[in-house]
Structure 1
Amino acid sequence: MSTEIRQLEPKDLWNKFADLNAVPRPSKKEERVIAFMKDFGRNLGLKTTVDEVGNVIIKKPATAGMEDRATVVMQSHLDMVHQKNNDTVFDFDTQGIEMYIDGDWVRAKGTTLGADNGLGVATIMTILESTEIEHPAIEALFTIDEETGMTGAMGLKGGLLSGGILLNLDTEEDDEIGVGCAGGIDITATRSYNQEETPEFKIGYAISVKGLQGGHSGMQIHEGLGNANKIMNRVLFDGFENYGLRISEIDGGSLRNAIPRESNAVVAIDAVHEDAFLLEMALVTNTIKKELKTMEPDLKIEVSKCETPEQIMDLGVQEGVTRAIYAATNGVYRMSADIPDLVETSNNIARVIIKDGKIHIGCLTRSSVESSKMDLANTLRATFELTGCEVEFSGAYPGWTPNMDSAILKVMAGLYEELNGEKPHVAACHAGLECGILGTNYPDMDMISFGPNIKGAHSPDERAQISSVQKYWTFVLEILKQIPKK
């Protein structure tokens, strides 16, 4: 498996990726990968430091003849999204990623691959280790916790880096040169509710929504993918009026930056309305599947009898929260008026937990315009407050404003066209890159983001294109040769 991956070209890069993927590195649990990177740098005899939040910085002098070039910061994040299929047995805290080759793609067995941003990390490791690659002075910056809060970038202090150019290797389209990104904010709605004893005349049913693709809640938010939390809410919405449905518990979604793939609920219905309930479930299931058949051909909505739950949620709260979730914006809120085809503002209803008298609804709102981000955040706040929830804003991070006069952009755009016979797609993206945050303490740094083709990031369908990695690697090597003089 890993042996097969290690034979791919460029071998040094794929070997570093295989080494990295053997180290468990879920977000918030990066201790092992920090130690791995620290040992890597020090074993090469390079100046290696770990800052107070856990970012690893490794510095390598310029190769002979490149000493007069500008110092380059090469940056990627160490953590990865930990998502797996429901039927996959895997422990992200202890196991390395199990990879395999599928045609022109590298995939993982039932889990996220970690190509986001492991291929960027592996690229930098390869350059640091090489004795043959020409390059200016390199400051390798490996940040932590990008996927669940960007706390590594936020905690990086000024003065640790001297480079004037930053190459962020966290873009997922190989024909794209990134010059801007969206900022984000977490919106969390919570409240308590009274539980009631389930009446004897009710019976229990389990409802599951599964088989959705999931994906990146920024880069793929415009694609029309199904959101398991919204689908589950639609299934439950009129249940009380039609067959006395009462919610006992809901557990939907997982990570704030992943479009929810699954949701599970336990409900109680009036036994006398069981036939009507099953008929209605079949009708609504078929309707939703028809609507989403193009984007979500594997969607399953399963309804099965289960043990009657002992307790159900207060009816008034149930009615309020299902209406609030229905009303809450999910998906694209506004397209950019200035950059064609760019999603400006969006929201992902990422997590819904209703259990044991507690409600938790977690959203991630993104926007490249700060005022629009807060407009949507306040829209969601008002929606959830109307049903009695307390709403907290947290984890806010800034966007990255495009600089179309960037010197390194001009170098890279010309070089891309020379290598590939076509112009690159110079664009801002609707995802949270660390460049905007890093720019707060390094405002004069000229920043660019690029990378190989990675599809399905943040989901078990994540895959990296082998031929694209080869194309990207050639681009990286040529960029390093053409870094401008100081």
Structure 2
Amino acid sequence: MSQEIEQLEPRRIWNNFSKLNAVPRPSKKEERVIEFMLNFGRSLQLETFKDEVGNVIIRKEASVGMEDRKPITLQSHLDMVHQKNSATDFNFDTQGIEMYVDGDWVRAKGTTLGADNGMGVAAIMSLLESRDIPHPPLEALFTIDEETGMTGAMGLKGGILRGQILLNLDTEEDDEIDIGCAGGIDITATRDYEEETVPEGSIAYAISVKGLHGGHSGMDIHRGFGNANKIMNRLLFKSTEEFGIGVSQIDGGSLRNAIPRESFATVALRADRKEDFEVKMSEWIKEIKNENSFIETNLEISLNKVEIPAKMMGKTAQDKILRAVYGAHNGVYGMSAAIPDLVETSNNIAKIQVKSGKISIGCLTRSSVNSAKTDLANSLKSVFELADCKVTLNGEYPGWSPNPNSEILEVLKDQYEILFDEQPQVVACHAGLECGILGKNYPDMDMISFGPTIKGAHSPDERVSISSVKKFWTFLVQILKNTP
């Protein structure tokens, strides 16, 4: 554990965050962190158990004099997004996160930090082990697999939780109180294609797109960040139209809920077109960089000669797939008419892989309006089917409908004003929170979401504000003292 991190205030949260970050916990591979949390609860001699899908529940009796308060469920997810820079040598399956302090921020060395949602987990751990913080009956719910399917929340059965109020600690601006979120659906387009032998007299190039912001495909989708898959497709489309290139392979993006930062492709073309191709590519690269110059200041697009591959895509399949990706919507699709400045519906073209006769394209469509989500999903499905792809829609999860008359909302608003002498922002977000899913089996639970300030979530630029964590902790402790 870094001594630098250990010395931060409040120490109990940062110490628990450091312990948590020492445990590898990428989504779908939470076995070690589940065991870590079970051991933590049992070491405190608290009621601790795991449900049938792997969620961990820990219960703590109320402080003396607070036994008659409404029981509270504190909820955060154990898994983290595993993203790293291409030049970073790191294995999320075996290594703990390497952290450092940068002014008011804690960051990781070339990887995601796991503050989403590790700060929430660390705060709950700190409450469970505390002996000096007054609180009503507490129940900690640590869900699994939030980032890649929300299967933990989906698999939690009714009748397990005892809380009447749920505090979800998974939002990322410390002056916001969240009362609603978007739902989502995964869209996967696949097809096989015939490979052709690269003709004699050809040369080959590797094209790379790197240095983009990336980020959360819900919270950051409106910020104008570049999508590496769309940029790469634009270059490949132009090169096909003007030079008849053959695409050998494409590898762009990685996770559906992360805006893709990098894309790599290998292409072949006639050797006698070399000079013209390099000149045109230079023009197109400059054009794209100029378009993105105000936001994507670190965008790198490179073209390098490489060994000629043996195979490339057949022309018919290549033309169809490049046109489909060009035509598929990416980014904000519609803004909310009910809540000012809220993205209602969006799509992230998250992952494209083309290699050895197989094509796979993965998207995540989000919306706070279920019918709009379905409409955009059907639009994307139609585009990819026109390119002869098989399209599947799965992993659907519901949004969380705002309840402006929530009793716990009034508590949070009042306590925020008392502590910080200003009004909080009461919002809904375009991210996917687990509240909507949990509410299906626990419809009477009063739910709210808040958290410290986290920037760059789902990217190696993820960072959490040190001063904000202190503010968040003060707020959380005050809420527990004043719940109904």
TM-score normalised according to structure 1 size: 0.99
Instruction: Name the SS for the 2:149 alignment partner.
Output: coil
- 1:414 Cα deviation after fit: 1.2
- 1:238 Cα deviation after fit: 2.3
Tell me the distance in 2 between the aligned counterparts of 1:421 and 1:234. Answer: 50
Tell me the distance in 2 between the aligned counterparts of 1:152 and 1:16. Answer: 22
Tell me the distance in 2 between the aligned counterparts of 1:442 and 1:456. Answer: 32
What does the per-residue CA deviation read over 1:35-68, in whole Å, with 9 as the maximum and x for residues that have no partner?
Answer: 0000000110000010000000000000111111
Alignment partner, residue 141 of structure 2 = 141
| Mean CA deviation greater in 225-234 or 1-10 | 1-10
Letter in 2 for 1:451: G
Alignment partner, residue 327 of structure 1 = 327
Alignment partner, residue 277 of structure 2 = 277
Alignment partner, residue 99 of structure 1 = 99
Alignment partner, residue 442 of structure 1 = 442
- 1:243 Cα deviation after fit: 1.5
Letter in 2 for 1:292: N
Letter in 2 for 1:251: D
- 1:418 Cα deviation after fit: 1.5
What does the per-residue CA deviation read over 1:99-125, in whole Å, with 9 as the maximum and x for residues that have no partner?
Answer: 000000000000000000000000000
What does the per-residue CA deviation read over 1:123-178, in whole Å, with 9 as the maximum and x for residues that have no partner?
Answer: 00000001111100001000000000000000000000111100000000000000
* Gap runs ≥5 in structure 1: none
The answer as to 2:190 corresponding to 1:190 is yes
Letter in 2 for 1:317: A
Tell me the distance in 1 between the aligned counterparts of 2:311 and 2:481. Answer: 67
Tell me the distance in 2 between the aligned counterparts of 1:178 and 1:65. Answer: 30
Alignment partner, residue 413 of structure 2 = 413
The answer as to 2:53 corresponding to 1:60 is no
Identical aligned pairs, as a percentage?
Answer: 67
Tell me the distance in 2 between the aligned counterparts of 1:10 and 1:240. Answer: 57
Tell me the distance in 2 between the aligned counterparts of 1:413 and 1:464. Answer: 23
Instruction: Name the SS for the 2:37 alignment partner.
Output: helix
Tell me the distance in 1 between the aligned counterparts of 2:249 and 2:303. Answer: 15
Instruction: Name the SS for the 2:261 alignment partner.
Output: coil
What does the per-residue CA deviation read over 1:329-357, in whole Å, with 9 as the maximum and x for residues that have no partner?
Answer: 00000000010000000000000000000
Count residues with an aligned counterpart: 484
Q: 4+ residue stretches of structure 1 with deviation over 6 A?
A: none
Tell me the distance in 2 between the aligned counterparts of 1:240 and 1:369. Answer: 38
Letter in 2 for 1:414: D
| Contact 1:239 1:246 (C-alpha < 8 Å) held by counterparts | no
Instruction: Name the SS for the 2:67 alignment partner.
Output: coil
| Contact 1:454 1:465 (C-alpha < 8 Å) held by counterparts | yes
Alignment partner, residue 116 of structure 1 = 116
Tell me the distance in 2 between the aligned counterparts of 1:340 and 1:181. Answer: 14
Letter in 2 for 1:236: L
Tell me the distance in 2 between the aligned counterparts of 1:131 and 1:418. Answer: 25
Which runs of structure 2 are paired with 1:174-185 in the superposition (5 Å)?
174-185=174-185
Letter in 1 for 2:133: I
What does the per-residue CA deviation read over 1:298-335, in whole Å, with 9 as the maximum and x for residues that have no partner?
Answer: 00010000011111101011111101000000000000
Instruction: Name the SS for the 2:184 alignment partner.
Output: strand
Letter in 2 for 1:32: R
Tell me the distance in 1 between the aligned counterparts of 2:121 and 2:304. Answer: 45
Alignment partner, residue 222 of structure 1 = 222
Which runs of structure 2 are paired with 1:286-325 in the superposition (5 Å)?
286-325=286-325
* Gap runs ≥5 in structure 2: none
- 1:241 Cα deviation after fit: 3.0
Which runs of structure 2 are paired with 1:205-284 in the superposition (5 Å)?
205-284=205-284
What does the per-residue CA deviation read over 1:46-99, in whole Å, with 9 as the maximum and x for residues that have no partner?
Answer: 000100000000000001111110000000000000001111101101110000
Alignment partner, residue 130 of structure 1 = 130
The answer as to 2:45 corresponding to 1:48 is no
Tell me the distance in 2 between the aligned counterparts of 1:10 and 1:293. Answer: 39
| Contact 1:243 1:274 (C-alpha < 8 Å) held by counterparts | no
Tell me the distance in 2 between the aligned counterparts of 1:263 and 1:310. Answer: 21
Letter in 1 for 2:247: I
Letter in 2 for 1:169: L
Tell me the distance in 2 between the aligned counterparts of 1:242 and 1:339. Answer: 45
Report the aligned-residue RMSD. 0.6
Letter in 2 for 1:295: I
TM-score normalised according to structure 2 size: 0.99
Letter in 2 for 1:262: E
Tell me the distance in 1 between the aligned counterparts of 2:201 and 2:446. Answer: 68
Letter in 1 for 2:286: N
What does the per-residue CA deviation read over 1:425-470, in whole Å, with 9 as the maximum and x for residues that have no partner?
Answer: 1010000000000000000000000000000000000000000011
Alignment partner, residue 424 of structure 1 = 424
Tell me the distance in 1 between the aligned counterparts of 2:280 and 2:424. Answer: 51
Alignment partner, residue 169 of structure 1 = 169
- 1:252 Cα deviation after fit: 0.2
Which runs of structure 2 are paired with 1:1-40 in the superposition (5 Å)?
2-40=2-40
Instruction: Name the SS for the 1:238 alignment partner.
Output: helix
Instruction: Name the SS for the 2:473 alignment partner.
Output: helix
| Contact 1:63 1:134 (C-alpha < 8 Å) held by counterparts | yes
Alignment partner, residue 352 of structure 1 = 352
